[in-house]
Amino acid sequence: AQKVTQAQTEISVVEKEDVTLDCVYETRDTTYYLFWYKQPPSGELVFLIRRNSFDEQNEISGRYSWNFQKSTSSFNFTITASQVVDSAVYFCALSEVNTGNQFYFGTGTSLTVIP
């Protein structure tokens, strides 16, 4: 079963629009961590954020914000005032106490920001 679901395969927005990328996860662990990574065309996955299962506070970092809701098992990512440089594939990932060293990646959302 897919542990992390990113239902949006591709999204296109016009520059300066806000965009939200959805992430839904599934786990039986009470302690787990959620991550977002950005993969630009160059290939490197860039770490954006880590959130643990006990911390439901939303986080804002510049134009980026994250909404973690345990009740709906979701960890959504919003980019405000999108820019062309935000064009990339974004992956949500999960790690669990019981499976330690590995990340379960979602299938990714390809975001294109049109100038």
Applying CB under 8 A, which residues contact another protein? Answer: 31-33, 35, 37, 42-47, 50, 52, 91, 95-97, 99-103, 105-108, 110
Which residue lies nearer to another protein by CB, 86 or 96?
Answer: 96
Dist CA 24 CA 40 (whole Å): 22
Helix, strand and coil content of the chain, in percent to the nearest 5, comes to 10, 50, 40
- Tell me the closest approach of the beta carbon of residue 16 to another protein, in angstroms: 27
Which residue lies nearer to another protein by CB, 13 or 89?
Answer: 89
CA nearest neighbour of 77 among 104, 100, 114, 106: 106
Which residue lies nearer to another protein by CB, 17 or 47?
Answer: 47
